[in-house]
Structure 1
Amino acid sequence: MKMIKVPHLVQYQGSKRLLAPKIAQFFPQKIERLIEPFCGVGAISIYAAAHSLCNNFILNDINGPIVDMLEECINSPERLYREYKKIWSKQFLSGMDTVDYYYEMRELFNKGESIPALTLFILARVAKGAIRYNSSGDMNQICDKRRFGTKPETIKNNAVAMSSLLKGKVCLQNKDYKDILKESKPGDLIYMDPPYQGVARGLSSRYINSLPFDEFVESLDFLNQKHIDFIVSYDGKTGNKTFGKNLPESLGCKHLLIEAGRSSQATLNGKEAYTYESLYLSKNLMKG
């Protein structure tokens, strides 16, 4: 594929932005709609739009503030930039330490003041680009003390570029993934990057809701019965350590491992290991 600069709004842990070229090589030649039931910041759809692989998208996520942020970015990028710039700049003008300012903004977020620009600022300043929630449902991720968050002009450039790619082509939803799958039909391609096994529970949960394994398998079987193509990113391995259960062979999927780069944790421990993510292709995508 031709090398094209693909915009991204903000760093987001688990985003498939860097893996998108490897994933997209398994797309069918014709896609009526690309559906992401666990869209996060929509990296795969943005890549597909930038490379003209599809012109019709459904982006869904159970995390409502993330969906609202994407909607503002796509439909009103200049307004998102202006509001973000106000919040971002105030950390230097408030008289507070910038870290204390982050925690004040996080408290506003948890009280329901989750306007798109505030959500974006929180994402821009959290450690490792990871939003995590406690058992009460409050976002509890710490601040990255080394950085002040993405500069407003960078946000503006990327937001405007994303808008030019997706405006008028995308339906944004905030539903349970199973409801989104019920709306799908043959000709669609469903890309799923669900919460990985073992990271959706406990005090450092990365996700609002966990995803029961058996329920997810039933959903994939439902797609098979409707003859709807899907690709699933799901767990993987680092070095000799494998994470999570494999999807059952009864689904008839092709299971691949795609290299996701060197393990940062292994590097910190003075070791060299590479991380591989599991990619599952539905039956029709295996042809050829």
Structure 2
Amino acid sequence: MTITKNRAFLKWAGGKYGLIEDINRVLPSSDRLIEPFVGAGSVFLNSDFEEYLLNDVNADLINLYKLLQTNADDYIKAASEFFTPNYNDKDRYYDIRAKFNASSDILERAIYFLYMNRHGYNGLCRYNLKGGYNVPFGRYKKPYFPEKELWFFAEKAQKATFTNVCFRETFKQAKSGDVIYCDPPYAPLSPTASFTSYSGQGFKLKDQEDLANLAEHSSNAGVPVVISNHDLDLTRHLYKQANLKEIKVKRTISQKAGKRTKVGELLALY
């Protein structure tokens, strides 16, 4: 079955749009796909399961997804008003970022979240230790309003359940007939290259170890697991109980195209 590729409506560091074919080739058939680290949702958007359990530790992300699932029309209309030339302004961006950090209103935060994702630097999603969104202004000529992508997500979200818990809790929800795909914050390529603060909580070595152990236990219980990560000595050690598939992927975290070199990536199959 050929699946038309669909882009996520969010820009996302480490998004899996470019690896969809590789991932779909190794995902076992099942009734339900579970994603403990759904991120921008490229695997969800480009796979064909009867049901989805989609989780992320980032509460802003999950609240936005729930709004699209239940009230897409009002959300998309309100969000579109922030994609005009008047809002593509450095001072306006920092004003909205400050309002976002001060707000506890779910709809307001969701509207600002999409605005900042498309107007902020390089599509990053990053919070400081106090939970404040701190991505600088991106200086784009004309930020794209992803209306088509938003509507596609909203339609497909009718097959999904969204949760905002630790990945360990998500694994506990797995049962026979499920398959789990994990796209965790990657192990750093060097001690200074770690990018793990998109939720404000970080993802440590102990978390990487726990994930590998959970994947092994889940597989032993009859629920297959696929994990993406960098191809490193560390990850090969962590995933030593899995079948490993090596792939190459062009990273897009660097704003300068000339610096977007291909690095090794692993798909660990439990």
TM over 0.5: yes
Q: Note closer, same or farther for the CA distance 1:207–1:26 as it changes in structure 2 (3 Å cut).
A: same
1:136, 1:202 → 2: CA distance? 19
Aligned match of 1:56 = 51
Counterpart of 1:159? 150
1:36 Cα deviation after fit: 0.5
Determine if the alignment matches structure 1 residue 268 to structure 2 residue 258. Answer: yes
Are 1:220 and 2:218 matched, yes or no?
no
Of 83, 95, 101, which aligns to 1:104?
Answer: 95
In structure 1, what is the Cα distance between the partners aligned to 2:233 and 2:11? 24
**RMSD between superposed Cα atoms in Å:** 2.8
Please tell me whether the aligned partners of residues 7 and 158 of structure 1 are also in contact (alpha carbons under 8 angstroms).
Answer: yes
Q: Which residue type is aligned with residue 210 of structure 1?
A: G
Distance 1:263 1:123, change over 3 A: closer
Q: Does residue 1:189 correspond to 2:197, yes or no?
A: no
CA distance in 2, matches of 1:129, 1:143: 10
In 2, Cα distance between equivalents of 1:249 and 1:84? 41
Which runs of no fewer than 5 residues in structure 1 stay unpaired?
Answer: 237-241, 283-288
Larger Cα-atom Rg: 1
Which residue of 1 is the match for residue 116 of structure 2? 122
Q: Percent identity?
A: 20
Q: Which of the residues 130, 144, 158 maps onto 2:138?
A: 144
The alignment status of 1:279 with 2:270, answered yes or no, reads no
> Residue type of the partner of 1:218?
N
Where do 4+ consecutive residues of structure 1 move more than 4 Å? 199-204, 262-267
> Any idea what SS the aligned residue of 1:198 has?
coil
In 2, Cα distance between equivalents of 1:79 and 1:67:
17
**For residues 208 and 41 of structure 1, what CA distance do their matches in structure 2 show?**
17
Partner of 1:13: 13
Residues matched between the structures, number: 261
Structure 2 CA distance, aligned partners of 1:262 and 1:120?
22
Q: How does the TM-score come out when normalised to structure 1?
A: 0.80
TM-score (norm 2): 0.85
What is the CA–CA distance in structure 2 between the aligned matches of 1:60 and 1:144, rounded to whole Å? Answer: 28
Paired residues of 1:77 and 1:156 also in contact (CA < 8 A): no
Q: Mapping of 1:27-106 within 5 angstroms?
A: 27-28=27-28, 30-48=29-47, 53-89=48-84, 92=86, 98-106=89-97
Residue number in structure 2 paired with 1:286: none
Contact 1:20/1:44, CA 8 A, preserved across alignment: yes
* Equivalent-residue separation in structure 1 for 2:127 and 2:117 (angstroms): 13
The equivalent residue for 1:239 is none
Aligned 8 A contact 1:125 1:143 in 2: yes
- One-letter amino acid of the counterpart of residue 106, structure 1: R
What is the identity, as a one-letter code, of the residue corresponding to 2:103?
A: G
Mapping 1:191-210, distance limit 5 Å: 191-198=181-188, 205-210=197-202
